[in-house]
Amino acid sequence: MIYDVIIIGGGPSGLMAANVLQKHKLNYLILEKNDQLAKKLKLTGGKRCNVTNNLPVDGFIEALNMKHRRFLYHALKTFGPEEIIAFFKQRGLGLLLEQGLKYFPETQLSQSVLDALLHDIDQRRILFKESVKTLVKHEHTFEVVTANQTLISSCVIVATGSKAYPTTGSSGDGVVFAKNLGLETIPFTPAETHVYVDQVKTDYKDLQGVTISQAELTIEGVKKTFPGGVLFTHFGLSGPAVLHASEVIAEKSLHEDVYVHFPLTEWHEHDVLKRFDQALQKNEMLNLFLEEILTKRLSKKIVEWLDITQKRMSEYSKKDRERILDMIFRFRLKIDRVETIERAFVNAGGVSTKELDPKTMMVKRIPGLYFVGETTDLQGPIGGFNLTIAFSTGHLAAEACYMQIHLS
């Protein structure tokens, strides 16, 4: 069979591309290796699916960890959060804003997001259990070989994802295709995941379950800080700040030991210092000060960790008072490892953006071949960033396919 466009992968980026091709009435086909579409999409956000966020394009880009984050500017300007919200609304699915940032479907069900993506798509254009084995470039066409058949198309959009959550079918197939075609790829590494800290499992195990809301995490030797909150777990650390920082931690840990620090209080530093001075002037007992700015569990632990006895503030030496404040503001831990790429929510790495045209997502050296979504070295933190990137790049590639075929 001969097609205008073959989409390899029926995840969010592939389905968004299909919507564009359907609108333009192109002859396209989706090849999905699983027996169902978008398995990973249905798991995201606790099966509620954080579709996008309310950041303007510049703010969205600045929130990314990637050095090459400006690559996404054109894709997001063309089809960013505002356009994504409108896309779903046009298909009967409203999105609700939570925490002033994240948009979730009003139904609170990720299945509703998938249903909206499929609303306009001709189901006959989806083939299930069609795992692509090889992708070959001929002079004017592509040959896509599956376990069952050989297909020909003018354009190919590769939307196979990364290696995150292999139970959903993610196995890095797109990178294999890219390597076989001589393209530069970046090895997959964990991103948006929790981290393992042996100190928490041994010295601080009774803190498991404690959350420091809105804590800002700092990685020693890294200028950027990561807000959002930290959670002590049975294996180490999690929480929004940790998930956001994990990509940087993973990269840094390849070359050196990684240390992080964060405050144990939700109070602003200025307010803590003001309250500390008051406690000192009134010569209060240390526990009264600590229990006001920390949880009771944390206030008791600080005294234990610093190996000091409970007494009045003036009875502590200046050095001990500095140690107390340092523990409160800069609780320091050594990271032992990050989660594996398979268990990370998102992977960094994939097809290098150096190979791609940011205005089309097409491979510069291979006209008609496009890589989108997490198959590429484009990723972001939690908060709807990765689905936005998937939708945005899938939309951009499909529009470029249409223009290429329309003009040929």
- Identify residue 298 by its one-letter amino acid code: L
Tell me, yes or no, if the two domains 2-190+345-407 and 194-263+333-338 fold the same way.
Answer: no
Helical packing angle, 318-329 and 269-282, nearest 10°? 150
* Beta strand ranges found along 25-123 (DSSP E): 28-32, 52-53, 95-98, 102-105
Distance CA(195)–CA(338), nearest Å, equals 4
Q: Residue 170: what pLDDT? A: 66
Q: Looking at domain 194-263+333-338, does it have CATH number 2.40.30.10?
A: yes
pTM of the full structure: 0.88
**How many percent of the chain have pLDDT more than 70?**
98
Helical packing angle, 39-47 and 110-118, nearest 10°? 140
Hey, which residues does 195 pair with through a beta bridge? 237, 338
pLDDT digits (tens, 9 = 90+) for 39-57: 889 988 889 999 999 999 9
Coil, strand or helix: which one is 158? strand
Contacts with 7 (C-beta within 8 Å, 6 or more apart), sequence order: 14, 17, 18, 21, 28, 29, 30, 31, 156, 157, 159
Structure-block tokens of residue 356: 């791609």
Length of the chain measured in residues: 408
Q: Residue 164: what pLDDT? A: 73
Q: What is the CA radius of gyration of the chain?
A: 25
- The CATH T-level fold of domain 2-190+345-407 is FAD/NAD(P)-binding domain (3.50.50)
- Residue ranges of domains in the chain: 2-190+345-407, 194-263+333-338, 269-329
Q: Residue 165: what pLDDT? A: 64
Which residues of the chain carry a pLDDT beneath 50? none
